[in-house]
Amino acid sequence: MKPLLTREAARRFDRRIIDAGVPGLVLMENAGRGAADLFLRRFAGRLDHVVVVGGTGQNGGDAWVVARRLLTHGVRPKVFLAGAREKVSGDAKVNLEALDALDLDVTELGEGDLAPLDGALAHATAIVEGLFGTGLDRPIEGWRRALVERLDGAAAPLFALDLPSGIDADTGAVLGVALHAELTATFAAHKRGLWQTPGRGHAGETVCVDIGVPGPTGRDGLLELGDAARLLSRRALAAHKGTAGHVVVVAGSPGKSGAALLSGHGAMRAGAGLVTLAPRGEAREALELRVHELMTMAIPDAPLELAEGKDAAVIGPGLGLDDEGRALAVALAEGLAVPAVLDADALTALAEAGPERLHDAPPRVLTPHPGEAGRLLGVTSAEVQADRFAAAKKLVELTGQTVVLKGAGTVIARPGELAVCPLGTPALGVAGTGDVLAGAIGAALAGGLEPFDAARAMVLLHARAGERASRSDRGLLAREVADALPDALEEARRRC
């Protein structure tokens, strides 16, 4: 995993390095140099009329370094300072004055005086912006809002320094108004807000630029596909179905047998040696006509007996939300003696029964989408989406279990640690893909992985499988995602 920082963690990292003896001026120079090199590579054909706009803070200082570095490559940008010179201080002031020494004009912008920028933007071939950076924690207002809107409306592609101005570094929320970048150079480590919507959509492609010192460490991270390979070791030659793990999928009810089938298919494709489907009622007869590699069984009168001879369980997809279905889901979620994935109807039942009862349960992985997360927390899905990291953390605190908050930038969390999946495609937003994911995580649990590791590995592979199987941003079938899981794993192994 790559480190993933909050705004405050980024500040602490910078302060620790400076306190250790590395001058802030050196860090700014390295950041600006790395960003300039990236800009020159990616925008090599758009260097005729470059516009650089910086603020009065340290993010502006990064922009002044970029402008100076462009000069050394024969590119003479038009440079604008958003604010008054007397407000620029510290390392940023040093780099601004360096531009003066090189006779590169810097035009000040202020309230009611954006006309000089308008003329430059009309002819711009590329824009570099360093207005606010990670420090912004309140909405952009007044003339600065108008400035951001002008930059965002320009035809030229925009290159953002650290993160697009107007994006909350912690949540990815838009603080009043925000820029849309084609490319973002973030410094030292990735920021949380760059990997959640809407921030991710504003950042474009994000590249982490080193600043000349070892990067930060921490328990929170941005997953890489190779992480899945490191978590899923190759099996011994003597492996067989009994050693690969047996998953029981308690899912499906009359009219909803497809959910059970997809979960079972996901478990098999993810590596389970044996999968038994345990649907409710007449759904078993329907499934018997459709299964080949999978087994079926009736739910016993004592449902906790489902764990006998099994290594893990998946509970909930298509199980039903009538009184009997809810009672079964809650009883199994709380009492089944093997590690289990709780999905779909099981989560809805738990939301009513009280998710806090999971604190005393065996290991569980909860896989809610934002609506289910909202029901568990007693809030709206919009509130969950407004700060997905906070929502995942609250769910972990509420249940004491591992949580997979699904969606663009899926968040996997356990007590004291979280990870974000950067992979995926909008095509995954179709019925059944969540059932496949639940089955895949169940297979990893049955194979002996701890819940957090099982969730990280299978969220990654599921997202990559969706990318591999999709032909567009729509039209993907859930079973195609399951079928692509083995190839996704082999790709992950090649990347290690």
Average pLDDT of the chain is 96
Residue type, 369: H
Q: What is the pLDDT of residue 404?
A: 98
- Tally of domains in the chain: 2
Asked whether 356 and 399 are in contact (CB, 8 A), the reply is: yes
Cα–Cα distance between 338 and 241 in angstroms, integer? 18
Q: What is the pLDDT of residue 281?
A: 87
Q: What is the pLDDT of residue 479?
A: 97
Nearest-10 Cα torsion for 342, 278, 432, 232: 60
With 0-12 / 13-18 / 19 or more C-beta atoms within 10 angstroms meaning exposed / middle / buried, residue 171 is buried
Are 86 and 150 in a shared domain? yes
Are 154 and 262 in a shared domain? no
Quick one: residue 399, left, alpha or beta (phi over 0 = left, psi -120 to 50 = alpha)? alpha
Element (H or E) spanning 364, and its range? strand 364-366
- Choose one of 217, 233, 264: the last residue of a domain: 217
> Per-block average pLDDT, block size 10, for the chain (496 residues)?
95 95 97 98 97 97 98 97 96 97 96 90 97 94 96 98 97 97 97 96 97 91 97 93 96 91 97 96 81 91 96 97 96 98 98 96 98 98 97 98 97 97 97 98 98 98 98 96 98 93
- Choose one of 217, 234, 257: the last residue of a domain: 217
Are 188 and 232 in a shared domain? no
Are 242 and 264 in a shared domain? yes
Are 198 and 286 in a shared domain? no
- Choose one of 196, 217, 238: the last residue of a domain: 217
Q: What is the pLDDT of residue 289?
A: 74
Q: What is the pLDDT of residue 291?
A: 82
Are 150 and 292 in a shared domain? no
Are 179 and 299 in a shared domain? no
DSSP 8-class letter at 278: -
Are 186 and 277 in a shared domain? no
Are 288 and 200 in a shared domain? no
Q: What is the pLDDT of residue 88?
A: 97
CATH number at residue 54: 3.40.50.10260
Cα–Cα distance between 96 and 101 in angstroms, integer? 9
Q: Tell me which residue of 143, 28, 133 sits closest to 84, measured CA to CA.
A: 143
Are 97 and 150 in a shared domain? yes
Are 352 and 438 in a shared domain? yes
Residue 95 structural domain: 2-217
Residue 302: CB atoms within 10 A of its CB come to: 8
Return all residues near 188 (Cβ < 8 A) that are at least 6 apart: 5, 10, 13, 14, 31, 208, 209, 210, 211, 213, 215, 216
Return all residues near 429 (Cβ < 8 A) that are at least 6 apart: none
Q: What is the pLDDT of residue 112?
A: 79
Burial 311-337 (b: 16+ CB within 10 A, else e): bbbbbbbbbbeeeebbebbbbbbbebe
Cα–Cα distance between 488 and 481 in angstroms, integer? 10
Cα distances from 494 to residues 225, 232, 455, 466, in angstroms, run 10, 13, 21, 18
Are 272 and 160 in a shared domain? no
Q: What is the pLDDT of residue 288?
A: 81
Q: Tell me which residue of 457, 451, 454, 471 sits closest to 364, measured CA to CA.
A: 451
